[in-house]
A and B are shown apart, each in its own frame.
Chain A
Amino acid sequence: MEQALKNTLKKYETKLPGKIIEEIETNIPAGYSKIKFEKLMEKIYAEYKKTLTDPGEFVGLIGAESIGEPGTQMTLNTFHFAGVAEMNVTTGLPRLIEVLDARKTIKTKMMDIYLEKPYSNGENIEKIISSLKETKMGYLVDEINIDISEGKLDVLLNNKRMEELDLDIEKIFKKCSNKIRSFKCKKDKDSNIIIFELKSKSSSLNKLYDAKEKIKEIYIKGVKSIKQVLPVKEGNEYKIVTSGTNLPSVLKLDFIDKTRTRSNDIYEIRDILGIEAARQVIIDEVMKVIEQQGLNVDIRHIMLVADTICVSGKIQGITRYGIVKEKLSVLARASFETPLKHLFNASMMGEEDPLYSVIENIMINQYIPGGTGLPGLITEIHTKNTKTKKSKSQNKKKAKNSKK
């Protein structure tokens, strides 16, 4: 693009959204004169202005409709495969509800880990996988023998599995010792046995059995709470899909692409990357569900929902404990759920309902302050002349209809 045209384009930078500017840049044929281009820009700007939302439009309700209506067409109970046949992920309506409710515990946590350059081609992928997956003692154990009389547990390790994960008894022993309270730890290198011995012999039998379960849960290697790791080829590069999330630990690893690696747990993202990132995850997750179902919903509606969930700086689900609770109006809250609780609390606090929003005004049969009910007319009021008194009251009515 020529410099002269670029200057013209620059003038519109504040007027037009970046996406449109970009599109103009890529679509403009060569050989435009400056005057012609200016005229074109005027036309594009005029067309853009035509598409703007009208003030007073209830965009929230349109958004709710646009998500609620396709919701009736979604399938329930679909576990979809996340690109690979081996892993199940909640999708469809249950996942949508999960995200919009902003549930703290979600059914299937997962991460998409992207890799840095040499590794993204598939180099050392097996090694990376084994270093990510959380390994617990239970996986490495062949058998555990309980010796009641001696008050000790003999843990026999599996050689093959240790090799597979590049471990030996020395390393495992380090991880094990002092992990279980009131047990001493010994190793027998030749027979591949780690012995857990009760410090005081008098302890009860139950303790031995408890210890057996605890031993199985000892963390040995990998990233905590990552239960499954799978490589997926996406285009030309490999990414890693995991079930279970642990973003803080994964981001510390040096071979991953920190800019693209993501988790599907909103709260985890919020804690590590901030509320704006959480908002983006909400948008992405909802879009993913909708696209998987073969439905079509504009991203603006989802952005609005995500923004409402995140405006206050914390994540508030679309529930009676979340956004609805935050509403200014007593009547609006009462009309949703648990009306009496809200009414009694309001009366104790002496709350005032300013009647700013839709539902209260419907309740008391007044115009709603939005859409065609938004504009009002203010005119001068003549007080002395009795003949205009009528018009005075009329004006008053209209003036009151209008907002301050």
Chain B
Amino acid sequence: MKLNDVPQDKKHFNDKDVELRKVLYVTDKNGQYTQTHSYGWESENIALEQAWGEIFEQEEQVKQEIREGIASPIKYFMIKNRMDIGILASYVGKWQWQVKRHCKASVFKNLSENVLQKYAQVFNMEVSDLRSFKG
């Protein structure tokens, strides 16, 4: 990529976000490599937007499942924390099949304080807030 072609496609995904200029290696007019900065590129922005859109969509979907009494709050906060079953299982020290079960409303309501505490800690929240989340 040439210095003159470096994209500066700034995009604000979140108002709180600090701006980040990334370093790129590009060629100057003599064909020599040099370091420069870029505020972003449209193609990457599309991919990032899509990844986040997917998370938001899943959050809404799981909220609906919670209201319908199918899913448990654990499933919602797993997605909100950008985790999947595998990652969450390793954080709480459980098997994946156990975490999968805990994602069901019917299993969730019988979980012990001890187990809930583990999840709440990973999600950085109070057990009471986890338990009372209604979607």
Question: Do the two chains belong together in a single complex?
Answer: no
Enumerate chain A interface residues (CB-CB to B < 8 A).
Answer: none
